[in-house]
Structure 1
Amino acid sequence: MENRLRYIRLAICDREEETMIRLENFLEERGARGHVQIHIDTMKSGAQLVRKIMEQESYDIICLESELADTDGIQLAKTIRETDEETVFLVLAADESRIKEIFDIMPAVYLKKPVERQEFLHWLERSIRRMTDERKYYVFNFNRRTYHVPYRRICYLESRNHKLVIKTELEEYSLYGKLDEEEERLRAAGGMFFRIHKSYIVNYWHIHWLDGSAVEMVNGETLPVSDAYRERLRGEYWQYTEKIRQKLHRSI
């Protein structure tokens, strides 16, 4: 049986401190069981969540209150869904009056407050299992383990010393492979990866800024842009940026 390690980025967006602490405790319990690493961001308003996304943050799972202080949580989820087909929404609500609305934001689950431990862990596990879908996750073998890393968790790929280096938010992996072949594989990610050099493919969601000669990544690294890819990079980058902005600016 393959030994798989999955990385998850999760957001909790809820007005109530008590709810956030409760869910964090459940998540820590699941993380302690192994085979998954969970990074958690907490926020109390829809504006904070939108700001994170506009800053090129992304989440595999969002625990989202249905009626936030500054916006309608389910409507916000609908807006996010227009540009993100992968995120799972766990909608937190005081009653079941809006349960039918989640069909517009599937995959999603409606959880009544106070959220019960067993129910939350059940749906969390179901969400984690979705990560085996190879159409949405970059799958590779490293040190006898099979990794399923969401496309958005990958910072960049590099050709280095005749090996393929995969740089993620948490780790770096060096394995045998060719960058040209991986560029073809990454087309399944929907346009978020850009070739900037014969030795580099970068992820849109991890670019801090770019100019004609270099790309600075969110992690602080600076990568070169070659003449051969400069114009194509500029066009693809701004086209993708405009697509995201047009979908999100209406949410708040």
Structure 2
Amino acid sequence: MKMLEIGVCDDDHLLLWEMEKYLLELGYETGVNLEVDTYADGEEIVRAVMKGKRFDIIYMDIEMQNLSGMCAAKRIREMDRAVQLVFVTSHESYMKEAFLVTPIGFLVKPLDKSEFTDMFNHILRMIGTEDQFYRFRYDRSDYKILLKEVVYFESKGRMTEIVWEGGRYRLYKNLEAIEEELRSQKMRFVRIHKSYLVNYWHISRFSADIVELMDGMCLPVSRSRRKEVEVNLYEAMDWCHV
């Protein structure tokens, strides 16, 4: 695995030091080379990203003076779709707003080292599976596309259309079979409707009856699935309850 670039942003200097210490210890224990940059406010880390700094992981305090962590994360997400964001907070009331920046999870203060470790190890597994492919046959040829580039699958009768960042394909397989195939993958897909299976990482927001994708397109959430969709979306965030 390449060296991990990690940013930690918190206006509590003691907590900033604590997270840096945990990360360096985890890097040593797991044998992962990592570099940790610390920032005392949201403006600092946003400026760093604007100047070309790229992070694999950012731990972001939500409640900060000057620029809040949520606002900083939104600005960073506009510049970098790939970074894994972890929110650190004293409250649990930010989950719905947080979908705008697709975090990988939350840590609630005061930090628990075992929860912090679990989150770090989960992110390592996610990073290690980012290059997973979906393989299929289309027009008598074999294809593979990166799962992270798949936006959604749409049922078209006995066929399913794959909508991905590079275009569209159709294959002779029903949506139920594809959903079952993807259960073993780390990349999370959520069934929002009998006709749609959506990649969580391409969802920018959701409400009771729609999910909005990063490109602004809206897809319907079926009434019978609303509660299930909400639960699955929260689970996809890997909410880390402390």
What's the TM-score, normalizing by structure 1?
0.49
Q: Which residue of 2 aligns with 1:44?
A: 40
Cα gap change, 1:132 to 1:15, in 2 (>3 Å): same
Q: Which residue of 2 aligns with 1:78?
A: 74
Amino acid at match of 2:100: D
Shift of 1:89: 1.0
Matches within 5 A, 1:91-110: 91-110=87-106
Shift of 1:134: 5.2
Matches within 5 A, 1:97-246: 97-133=93-129, 135=131
Structure of higher RCO (CA pairs closer than 8 Å, 6+ residues apart): 1
State whether residues 102 and 110 of structure 1, in contact with CA within 8 Å, keep that contact through their aligned partners in structure 2: no
Residue-by-residue CA offset, 1:11-64 (whole Å, 9 max, x unaligned):
111000111111112112211124311100011111111111122111111111
Shift of 1:81: 1.4
1:11 aligns with 2:23: no
Residue-by-residue CA offset, 1:130-154 (whole Å, 9 max, x unaligned):
2224549xxxxxxxxxxxxxxxxxx
Amino acid at match of 1:87: V
What's the TM-score, normalizing by structure 2?
0.51
Which 5+ residue runs of structure 2 have no aligned equivalent? 133-165, 167-242
Which 5+ residue runs of structure 1 have no aligned equivalent? 137-187, 189-252
2:33 counterpart SS class: strand
- % identical equivalent positions: 28
Shift of 1:83: 2.6
Cα gap change, 1:54 to 1:83, in 2 (>3 Å): closer
Q: Which residue of 2 aligns with 1:21?
A: 17
1:35 aligns with 2:42: no
Residue-by-residue CA offset, 1:134-180 (whole Å, 9 max, x unaligned):
549xxxxxxxxxxxxxxxxxxxxxxxxxxxxxxxxxxxxxxxxxxxx
State whether residues 102 and 108 of structure 1, in contact with CA within 8 Å, keep that contact through their aligned partners in structure 2: no
2:63 counterpart SS class: coil
Distance 1:108 1:132 in 2: 14
Distance 2:51 2:74 in 1: 19
Matched length: 133
Shift of 1:92: 0.9
Q: Which residue of 1 aligns with 2:54?
A: 58
Q: Which residue of 2 aligns with 1:243?
A: none
2:52 counterpart SS class: coil
Distance 1:71 1:103 in 2: 19
